[in-house]
Structure 1
């Protein structure tokens, strides 16, 4: 018997797809945009024509965003409190601003990553 494994010609590589999704690009070609507004997924890729009208990311991107934002906030909160001891109002304003900025930056990228992961694994109609 041979140890050579034959790969499926229909197999979609996971890691390159996820990287393209994190860049909000089409996981198939990497050229077309995956989102046409802040969080709205395009119906199809403008470059390769891949259909995304049936994708469903649901709450996955929000959960990942909360996880990341929570860790970032806790790190900066403890660091600021330990070394600067700001007033509670300053700390609250700083942490709320930081949380909003980080959440707004990572949410579309996580949505692109989830859609690309689903595309690579042929989930939800892909």
Structure 2
């Protein structure tokens, strides 16, 4: 078995400013790094506090595809503390993002589903993985 120390999920967007606002101000992830106009690319990386998991968003100056391929492409955040979950939902709503019905009914009563500016779905799960079956 391989031993991994870090995981980064990267995807392009053509709305970098809005996407970063969604994930930092809305979801509440800290910005870890960024750069502007490196070989035509700009980038922002966000992550979970004290974890080795990162989300990277890049924008190419000539344009980058950004829309989600389906409504069931998900990024799931497990939030065990009800007050933190409520705060994240409220922050997203204050930014103009409101829950949408999940494609898969499994998520319906266990979480809140939001679409980021590119249409990618984000699940804010009430609890931790394996806790609710």
More strand per residue: 1 or 2? 2
More helix per residue: 1 or 2? 1
| TM-score for both structures, normalised by structure 2 | 0.22
| TM-score for both structures, normalised by structure 1 | 0.23
Return the structure number with greater relative CO, CA threshold 8 A, min gap 6: 1
Larger Rg: 1
